[in-house]
């Protein structure tokens, strides 16, 4: 069952810009974290991450991302499929999420896009279009998920280094969900292992027409 916890306002205006502290928490000061402290991450905190991430936009509101939170002892089953450099930190993280795309996301279209329920039949009949929509939109949502972790006052360590086929066989045996990212989650008071890597300059990225 899908539920909305926010009502549509009668009026809407552009929100105020985030202050420097909020921008730092989400972007300029945030880092990918590999080492966490011993502070537990509660189920309520993990649920709050999704309650933030789910509101961000996807094409036609498709929402193909799915989340599996992996607790001990199932964590050992995940760790065996992580790349060698990611095994130890995944085993030690207070919480771990496996992000996946739902290959049959179109079945929910009448619920999430009620003004165009016929898109369900279009995607059911078009494997290529369905796959492209699932891949693009789940990647968007994975980025939103990492930002939601930060917005919830936690640190994130997203990783693509794992055996995707092995994880899918281990946790998604019916073949419907396909793993795309593993995210370690927790609290930290440790400095990152490395200096921040460079970002491209404005002139290298932006053009004006």
What DSSP letter does each residue of 7-51 carry, written as one string?
PPPSS--PPPPP-HHHHIIIIIS----S---S----HHHHHHHHH
Task: Grade residue 6 by pLDDT with cuts at 50, 70 and 90.
Answer: low
pLDDT of 202: 96
Q: 175 and 103 in contact (C-beta within 8 Å)?
A: yes
- Yes or no: domain 25-189 corresponds to CATH 3.30.450.30: no
Mean pLDDT over the full length of the chain: 94
What distance in Å separates the CA atoms of residue 182 and residue 96, rounded to the nearest whole number? 7
pLDDT tens digits for range 44-53: 999 999 999 9
**Confidence at 193, pLDDT banded by 50, 70, 90:** confident
Q: Where are the domains of the chain?
A: 25-189
pLDDT at 11: 80
C-beta separation of 109 from 123 below 8 A: yes
Residue 29 in tokens? 């000061």
85 pLDDT higher than 70: yes
Mean pLDDT of 180-201: 91
Predicted structure pTM score:
0.93
7 has pLDDT over 70? no
């Amino acid at each position: 069952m899908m539920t909305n916890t926010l009502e549509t306002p009668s009026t809407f205006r552009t929100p105020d810009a985030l202050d420097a502290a909020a921008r730092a928490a989400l972007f300029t000061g945030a880092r990918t974290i590999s080492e966490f402290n011993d502070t537990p991450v509660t189920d309520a905190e993990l649920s709050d991450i999704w309650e933030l991430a789910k509101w961000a936009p996807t094409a036609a509101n498709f929402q193909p991302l799915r989340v599996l939170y992996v607790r001990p002892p199932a964590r050992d089953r995940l760790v065996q499929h992580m790349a060698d450099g990611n095994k130890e930190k995944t085993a030690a993280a207070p919480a771990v999420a496996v992000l996946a795309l739902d290959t049959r996301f179109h079945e929910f279209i009448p619920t999430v896009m009620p003004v165009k329920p016929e898109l369900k039949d279009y995607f059911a009949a078009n494997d290529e279009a369905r796959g492209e929509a699932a891949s693009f939109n789940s990647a968007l949502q994975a980025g939103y998920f990492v930002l939601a972790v930060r917005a919830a006052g936690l640190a994130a360590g997203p990783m693509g280094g794992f055996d995707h086929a092995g994880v899918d066989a281990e946790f998604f045996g019916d073949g419907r969900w396909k793993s795309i990212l593993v995210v370690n989650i927790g609290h930290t008071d440790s400095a990152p292992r490395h200096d921040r890597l460079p970002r491209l300059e404005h002139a290298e990225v932006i053009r004006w027409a």
